[in-house]
Every structure is written in structure tokens, then in C-alpha cells.
Structure 1
Amino acid sequence: MNQEISQTQHDLNAPVRVWGISDVHIDYEENLTALLNLDLHAYQNDALIIAGDATDDMERLAVLLKAMKQRYRWVGFIPGNHELWIARKRNKDANDQAKFATSVDKFNAIRDLCQQLAVFTAPQKVGSQDNSIWLVPLFSWYHSPEENPASLYASKKCEKDRTQEMWSDFFLTQWPDWKGGNTADYFLNLNKPVLSESYDAPVISFSHFLPLQELLMASKEERKHSDLVYKDITPEFNFSRVAGTQIIDQQLRSINSTLHLYGHQHRNRHRKIDGVTYVSHCMGYPKERQRGLVANECTHPKLLWDTQQGFY
């Protein structure tokens, strides 16, 4: 691995914290403002990982990443589905189809942008000389049940399943001819070099999409200790069809991840399953916070690990 701890202008024994957040959706000014209001000095020796769905606007994404790099020593980012939209018109401007033939081209441009801004999209070791951790991004997409039995699909009772009509990805992304493959396989295969590495410290992995079907629903314990609203407001939409894939879980376990941060659903979790702690900390949309679907404290990144106490 060639991304070792940077030693420039930092005390090698100073405490280091790792923070995580996803689905910040900065096209909403309220969300962007919350992130720009993060203290400029409080996190200078810390790491922030952002698990996708910031914006489909490349210029706006650059604004966010630059601002986070001003606040955090390390920033990691992986694209979500929103980043890969190329057919959405913003205001009266042309859409991204003039710049990118496919969503894969835009994905590659986002990785290039991250490299220019010193935002990592590959495994990064952070911490102090005496206590460190690997932050490992895993690229992903969702498998449909027709594509792969690893799909997180769960049947749902409704008069008509309108997911295909309602899900924006089906209209706003554009993919190459996979010639028998599929989008999820493409992104999951990009992780192969990462999976073949050996890691000499604990691992926090992160993906945008969900790794397990059982994370789709709140547990009894989560419902018991939460004031959030649990109500299906769109019964004709089956999110599980576009949620993720079990192969993400297979991959994160193959590198012995201790904690996995994911996003996408805008339903936040902190749950340990078979030795792995799964954390979803989505900022979500302002209207979701107003309706009680997402907690207001999710406008601030969540502390995942530090050199003094370990995992949270």
C-alpha cells in the first residue's frame, strides 16, 4: 500500500478521530450550510469519510470537498448513485450528457477530481504512530433480483410495484453495454485490488449501498429507543430492489472490516451483526428531518473511532 500516514506538519502522537457521514445532498442549501459551518480548527488532525450522495453537480462537489479538506487532515469519498446522474438538467443549464458519454465516464472524472484535491478514494491509513486504522472505500451499485441472487430484494405487498417508474436512476444514468454483465458487477470488480491487500491495522470500510437485507428495516431495539417515525409513505415503491447487494458484505468481511459505514437509504442504523458493526449516518433531505424520518443531529458527522478509545 502506498498511502501511508502523512507526517507533514502534524504531531505523530496527537489524538486522531475518524468521522463518517453520507447522503449529505448539498443541492439543499440547508445541508451545505451545515457542513460549511463545521469548525475550521476542531478537526485538523482528524479524518472524515463521506459515503456518497453529495450532489450530481461536479462544481458543487468540488466546493464541498475543498471545504472539508480545509477542516480535516484526511477526507475520503466514494460516489453514490446521485453523483453518477448525467441526464438531469440543473436550472436552465445543459445536463452532463454533453460532457460524459456514460455514467462510468463521470465516475472516472469524480475520481480524478478527488485525486486533484487530495481526497482519497483508495485505502488510506490514518492515526498516530502508536495506534492507526485503515479506511477502505468499496465501490458498489445495487443488484436487481433478476441480475443476481445476492440482491437485497424483499417482496412487498402493494397493488402495483411502481419502483421502475419512480426511481430516478433509471432515467438519469447511462451505462455502457455490459455484454451480459451489469452495473453492480462492474463496480464490485473495481475492488479486487483492494481485497487482495493485507492490512496491518484494524479496518473501517465504507460503501454507499447497503450490504445486508436485514439492515433495511429498523430492529425492535432501534424502534424501542427512537422517537423517529417508522411509516411506509410510498407503499407502491420497493426500495429493496435498488438497495445494494450482499456481495458488499462478502467483500468487507474478506478484509476483516470491524466497522462498515454505508448510506443510501436515509434510515440510520448502528448495529452489530456477526462481528461487524454496521453504521448508517445519512444527513438526508431537510423535509425528512422535518417529518422525523431522520434525526436532526445527523447534520453533523458521526464519530466512529479515535486513537484514545477505539471504536464507538
Structure 2
Amino acid sequence: MGAAAGGKLLATSDLHVAHPDNRKIVEELRPETDEDWLLVAGDVAEKVADVEWALGLLAERFATVVWVPGNHELWTPKADPVTLRGEQRYRYLVATCRRLGVLTPEDPFRVWRGAGGPVVIAPLFVLYDYTFRPEGTRTKEEALARAYDAGVVCTDEFLLHPDPHPSRDAWCRARVKESERRLAELDGDLPAILVNHWPLVREPTRILRYPEFAQWCGTELTADWHRRYRCAAVVYGHLHIPRTTYHDGVRFEEVSVGYPREWRKRGLPRGTLRQILPCGENR
């Protein structure tokens, strides 16, 4: 199903609905028209029930919802009745989305035919492999040691299990391979919008307050994807630094809401929904 000319392609991420104030934000999210699509670039919540609630609500309101997993959805917190880990947890979330009518990285790519289109929407699940290393480190082990010494360690190290893969970076490499296989099948006549939770290039991480955290933010294996796959835009989250940047002339949109302590401090000057297409002012 395509979009009519009056619709908008919108995006958001890092909704973190376990926080009551963020849950309220989601409760108030609504499209401007019945033809609007919504891209959700991960980190909806940690518990499966919260993810299902939020995506189900959004699927009732928007013509099409596309979701990609973030690291928080892949955690296995002790408080969650769903105790699945790693690949099994991801597949369970995919099955939940399909029941809700939400598109995932495992579904056929859809074409946005509204204003600014036609454009292929390509949701991705690509993790990180510790190659965004702090300056002066040469290996994953050195990078992790630097992070532990600085007291800057991602909770993924304790809650994001890669089963049955031997490590998170091995899972990342498997996902890169699978994503490249699917992206190679793109219609070369149409531009694409890539949607991934983690940034596909390292540059956006250069402004992190704690540079040691960058190693949990992506992989160098995706550094040329925005050029290789003729991208009209790249949508991502994870950094909690909402902004628009350009890399090799391609627009990158970090669309996160973030935690209440963050958006209360900086406000939500660009709103909770970023307009991807047609290009123009965001609400």
C-alpha cells in the first residue's frame, strides 16, 4: 500500500515509555492526516508489553508504522515476564509487530509514494561491533578497558545477550551481512531511506560528552551505505542528540525524544515527530 499525495512521512525514536512523562507523549502523538506514515527508530521500551502497547497505539493512528529495534528492546530485564534472549527476543518482537500490522526489518521493503516520493523505505537492524573506538585504542579489548576505567559502560554489557551468537559484535556482523543481502535487491531506479537505531556513520558520535560511549553506537562496516544505496535520507536515534546533519550530501536525521531529564532541559523545539518527507518545516 502506498501513501496518497497529501500524507507526510514522519519519524521518531527513543520514546522510552517506561517513564510516565514519555508515555504521555506517546498517548498524545497523532498524525496530521489519515495518510501519514511513521518511522519508529528503536528504543520504544524495555518490556515487551510496553513495546506492544506503544506500537499498537501508533498503528491504530497512522496509515503505516515501521519499527526497527534499539538496544533497549533487546535487553532482557529481570522485571519482564518475557525472558527470551538475543535472537529469540528479536524474533518475538517481530512476531508481535506483525500481529499489530507494524512493519519490521524482516518484512518486504515498502515504497512511499506520497510527497517527495517515490522512495523505498528500508528498515534495518544493524548492531555495533566496537569499531567506533576511543582515540588511542586499537582493539575492542582496549576500547572496553578505557570505558571501564572512565566509568562509562553501556548497560548492554549486562542486559543485551547475543544468543546464539558468541558476542554482540558477531551478531552485528551477521546482521550487516543479512542487511547487505536485502539492500542489494533494492530497485536501482528509486532512492532509499534507510532506518536504523544506531547511526550508520561515525561522525554524529564525535560530539558525545563521553567519547568512550561511541563504541556502542555503530559499526564502520556501514560507513558507505548512504552512498552505495542511493539514499535520500538516513533516519536513526540512540544518541539522544536530535538534529539534522549532512554526510556526503545525504541528510541524516537523529529523531530521538530521549529521557525526561534530557528533553525537559533542552525542550522539544523540533517536536516529537520529525518530518522526513516532504522536505520542509518540522512540527
Give the TM-score, by structure 2 length: 0.84
1:155 aligns with 2:135: yes
SS of the equivalent of 2:246 reads: strand
Q: Distance in 2 between matches of 1:131 and 1:279?
A: 17
Whole-angstrom distance in 2 between the partners of 1:259 and 1:165: 31
Rounded Cα–Cα distance in structure 2 between residues aligned with 1:247 and 1:19: 27
Is there any run of 5+ residues in structure 1 with no aligned partner, and where? 7-11, 145-150, 219-229
Contact 1:258–1:275 at 8 Å: present in 2 too? no
Cα–Cα, structure 1 residues 130 and 269, in superposed 2: closer, same or farther, change >3 Å? closer
Partner of 1:167: 154
Provide the rounded CA distance (Å) in 2 between the counterparts of 1:132 and 1:311.
20
* CA-atom RMSD in angstroms: 2.8
Q: Deviation digits for residues 46-90 of structure 1, max 9, x if unmatched? A: 11001100112111111111111121101000110000111x223
Once the two structures are aligned, what percentage of the paired residues are identical? Answer: 21
* Residues 122-141 of structure 1 mapped to structure 2, 5 A cutoff: 122=107, 123-128=109-114, 131-141=117-127
1:114 positional shift: 1.2
1:211 counterpart residue number: 200
1:104 is matched with: 87
Contact 2:44 2:72 in 1 (8 A): yes
Larger-Rg structure = 1
- 1:19 aligns with 10
Query: 1:68, 1:75 within 8 Å by CA — same for their partners in 2?
Result: yes
Deviates more, 1:274-283 or 1:197-206: 197-206
| Number of equivalenced pairs | 269
Query: What residue is the counterpart of 1:43 in the other structure?
Result: 33
Alignment partner of 1:247 is 2:221: yes
Match of 1:190, SS state, is helix
Deviations 1:193-220 (A, max 9, x none): 32121324321111111222211134xx
The DSSP-based 3-state class of the residue aligned with 1:216 is: helix
The residue identity in structure 1 corresponding to 2:264 is: Q
Tell me, yes or no, if the aligned pair for 2:16 and 2:44 is still in contact at 8 Å. Answer: yes
Q: Is the 8 A contact 1:44 1:72 kept in 2?
A: yes
Q: Is 1:198–2:186 an aligned residue pair?
A: yes
> Which residue of structure 2 lines up, in the alignment, with residue 183 of structure 1?
171
Greater share of helix: 2
Contact 2:227 2:248 (C-alpha < 8 Å) held by counterparts: no
User: For 1:279, what is the secondary structure of its paired residue?
Assistant: strand
Q: Following TM superposition, by how much is the alpha carbon of 1:298 offset from its aligned partner in structure 2, in angstroms?
A: 5.4
2:64 paired with 1:74: yes
2:102 maps to 119
Kindly state the Cα deviation for residue 190 of structure 1 after the two structures are TM-superposed.
2.5
